[in-house]
Structure 1
């Protein structure tokens, strides 16, 4: 199985891809750990939301917002 992240603008529109990592992971845990380490850099690069994909199927989506 391949796990990947899809990136979206803050309003959830149009997927973003240009200049962003296109990592592929062998487990959900590895994908989630990677996001935990890289979410701030993604947010600074214009990513507002991400969706975890398993073999092209969306598992869940979430916003990249700092906890206050």
Structure 2
């Protein structure tokens, strides 16, 4: 994976709360430290996100995106 954002944190998904339009993803980046991101439902579906999957929390400006390899 190559991405222009310099701020990215590797972690595992611990919680997924799907909604009609958006999905809330909780990523544990270290024991007891979590990052929460709200992404579109279609993005969550396209990334095949599941509990326990390793992902990257990618921060650019004021947003947190989720990336997978």
Whether TM exceeds 0.5 here: the answer is no
Relative to total residues, which structure has the larger strand share, 1 or 2? 2
**Which structure is richer in relative contact order (CA contacts within 8 A, separation 6 or more)?**
1
Structure 2 length as normaliser, TM-score? Answer: 0.29
